[in-house]
Amino acid sequence: MPPLLLLASVLALTAGGCRSFEFQEATLDAIQLGFQNGSLTSTALVRFYLGQISSLNPVVNAVIEVNPDALKQAAKADAERRRASASGGDGRQMGRLHGVPVLLKDSIATRDRLNTTAGSLALLGSVVRRDAGVVARLRAEGAVVLGKANMDEWANFRGAVDTGGWSARGGQGKNPYVLSSPPCGSSTGPAIAAAANMAAVTLGTETDGSLLCPASLNSAVAIKPTVGLTSRSGVIPISPRQDTVGPICRTVADAVHVLDAIVGYDELDAAATRAASKYIPDGGYVQFLKTDGLKGKRIGVVNGLFDVDDGTARQMVYRQHLNTMRKHGAVVIENLEIENLAVIQNATVSGELAALVAEFKLSLNAYLSDLSYSPVRSLAELIAFNNAHPDEVNSEFSVCINHLIYFLSFLIVRSAHELPHEQLQEMLKQFGQLIFLVSENTTGIGTVEMAAIQQLDDLTANGVEKVMKEHRLDAIAAPDSSAATVFAIDGLPGIAVPAGYDEQGAPFGISFGGLKGYEPRLIEIAYAFEQASKVRKPPMFKQYNKFRLQRLDSIFNSVSPCSG
């Protein structure tokens, strides 16, 4: 048996007497039921996911590092559950995330032995002062921090060339359904990990498409909250106007449970979280998980967003989905127009890029200056670091050595941040850092930037807001993340749900977006659609090109652990 599969088998067999529990595709409801009836422990669950990571990560590069204290946190949760049981409780009062392992995008800070680097070698070894606001809420719920997930380095905001799910620390993220298909980003690792059963719960971030796109292309569910609904404190930033933190899970229900846990006011992100707190409903969001949630909903279909090639599987499936929505009581209004849609979707023309580059410099410099320790303290120093580490060194020997050390780190349960990184560089020749250079040349929010922000506000008011109000829409539906920018530029919410698979088996999704605070109706729509369509299936890890189509198990049986 190959070493990776052997290690996964050993970890699974040492799961602590929980062999009757079905780990694959386990939902939060199933996990909590397992905790309550004794068929599962947090320790067993963490061991299972560590096994999944050790066997799958060399193929899909979803995880940058694992938490050396994850098993200790799991044991603590198990002990708390035993004490509650001894005192007459059944553990239900502990909350839906108690004892549940969570993977965090590498831009979300944790005050522990994990790094927070946005995938960059420049921040390796930096020390944050405190947990990110959303992490503090997860810990308060008893969640176990499993590790840090890969991402587009600097959230794909470094150069003009799309990094496509790559980071210097995590390598190239791979789509777990068809390894050669794009995984999208920048929350690449969270989406891959959720889809591939490397965690039940993951957190990502979005500025423009970074939750909705990877969820769509990896057959996962993502909730992109209204900006300010979740705190951004302790999250490596791009823009305070557009940044938001949200869950990526395998089901709408799981994502909603996580959303309930992470929303709320944070004094370290006071202005945004105070303004958005009015949108949080009494009783939370779980109450909107209704199988009849499509009934009476008005859903818009906008010209220019549903441009799918005629005769393809995607086009036929999307048409079926619109009919399914109608069948379940929705009013689907097609052929709508958003004014200046082409302008909105061109970041240079709309003013989005002009605003973002100025906001990025201010926000990143503030983040770096607040760190207890950091090798770089400003965007200028970060640019200099990249110039000093420009090229990738990726010989077969160095990759093999890195993988072997990576496997050993799991065997001895050490933190992955202890691994050597000198063989990896910043691939400056391939991806560049043009956005960094443009951002460094800005001087704050001046007249040009204010005009750009005003233009973005006007485009939203005369575009998506006008259409939704005129047609009394509850949501706009769109393929994958094609409407992401429409909702991003004014901090509007969206939910992505699996929609189907193309001729090669690569996933595609459907997203529902609305106005600020529309999360309740979006959840009703997304959940009812998910229950009506039942699209999602586990990944097959196909290696597809014009010569071959293979399953991962055949790949494992035909190559050495140093491949991939």
Active-site residue set: 105, 186, 210
Neighbours of 79 (CB within 10 A): 11
The upper half-sphere exposure of residue 507, i.e. CA atoms within 13 Å in the direction of its Cβ, equals 35
Q: From residue 444, give the alpha-carbon distance in Å to each of 208, 349, 448, 467.
A: 21, 20, 10, 33
Asked if 509 and 497 touch (Cβ cutoff 8 Å), the reply is: yes
CA-closest candidate to residue 291, choices 28, 509, 533: 533
What is the CA 278 to chain-centroid distance, rounded? Answer: 25
What is the CA 250 to chain-centroid distance, rounded? Answer: 11
Angle at the Cα of 535 from the Cα atoms of 531 and 539, rounded to 5 degrees = 135
Angle at the Cα of 228 from the Cα atoms of 517 and 348, rounded to 5 degrees = 95
Residues 6 or more apart whose CB falls under 8 angstroms from that of 480 comprise: 212, 213, 216, 217, 496, 508, 509, 510, 511
Residues 6 or more apart whose CB falls under 8 angstroms from that of 415 comprise: 65, 66, 67, 68, 113, 114, 409
- Host H or E run for residue 347: helix 347-350
Helices (H) then strands (E): counts for the chain:
22, 15
Q: From residue 320, give the alpha-carbon distance in Å to each of 8, 329, 470, 530, 532.
A: 40, 14, 26, 13, 12
- Host H or E run for residue 373: none
Asked if 392 and 428 touch (Cβ cutoff 8 Å), the reply is: no
List helix spans (H) across 61-108: 70-86
CA-closest candidate to residue 57, choices 223, 169, 203, 162: 169
Asked if 505 and 327 touch (Cβ cutoff 8 Å), the reply is: no
In angstroms, the CA 243 to CA 268 distance is 15
In angstroms, the CA 50 to CA 215 distance is 22
Torsion-angle region of 298 (φ positive above 0: left; ψ -120 to 50: alpha; else: beta): beta
